[in-house]
Amino acid sequence: MPPTPPDIGQDEARMALDTVEHRRQQVLAEIDVPGWYWWFLALGWVAVGVGTQFGGIWAVILSPVLFGALHAALAHRALSGRYRTGNLSVRRDVAGHQVMFAVIAFVIGLWAVTLGVALVADADGARHPSLFASVVVALLVLAGGPRLMAALRRHRARAGAV
């Protein structure tokens, strides 16, 4: 027969539950992409814009392909949501797939914004519409990426996920 647990008071129980909630919030804060990922995405976006604006036909073809290949090689780890820092590695079942899906949707949206801004800039007579569009989107990446992850963490915290 297992030993009976000692009686604990209401204050001790509340303190234990508060500790558990605090630890849960710490784990939620770790579910994110690493900070370097947003800089990589922004600089890569600008590099593609430079390649397509100033390069020849080969640069127009190769710059998005090379960036896409490099992104694919790095994205698996970065978008898992499990390795924001070296302090903690969140289990796969805890991190879930929401981070990856949210960032992929964000990147698809950025592609659409890039195309729209470039077309509007070109129609307006801008000298370098693809470069302009890529810089606009790079700024959106740096400002919006971390905000997207913060919103996802808030949503998970409200939903009681983990």
26 inside domain: no
pLDDT tens string, the chain, 162 residues long: the values are: 676 667 777 887 788 777 776 666 666 666 677 888 899 999 999 999 999 888 889 988 999 899 989 988 887 777 765 555 555 566 566 556 677 788 889 989 999 999 999 999 999 999 999 999 999 999 999 999 989 888 887 877 777 644
Number of domains in the chain: 1
Under a CB-based contact definition with an 8 Å cutoff, are residues 137 and 116 in contact? Answer: no
Residue 12 domain flag: no
The rounded distance, in Å, linking the Cα atoms of 130 and 52 is: 7
Tokens of 40: 């990589």
**pLDDT value, residue 162:** 45
Other beta carbons within 10 angstroms of residue 155's beta carbon come to 12
The answer to the question of residue 118 being in a domain is yes
Q: Which long-range contacts (CB under 8 A, 24 or more apart) does 64-72 make?
A: 70/44, 71/40, 71/41, 71/44
Q: Which value, in Å, is the radius of gyration of the alpha carbons in the chain?
A: 22
Is there a domain that residue 125 lies in?
yes
Query: Are the beta carbons of 99 and 44 closer than 8 angstroms?
Result: no
Residue 17 lies in a domain: no
For 147, the domain range is 31-159
For residue 2, is it within any domain? no
Asked if residue 16 belongs to a domain, the reply is: no
What confidence tens digit (pLDDT) does each residue in 82-113 have? 555 555 566 566 556 677 788 889 989 999 99
46 inside domain = yes
Residues sharing a CB contact under 8 Å with residue 118, sequence separation 6 or more, in sequence order:
129, 130, 132, 133
Q: What is the C-alpha separation between 94 and 31, in angstroms, rounded?
A: 9
Whose tokens are 């890529």? That residue is 134
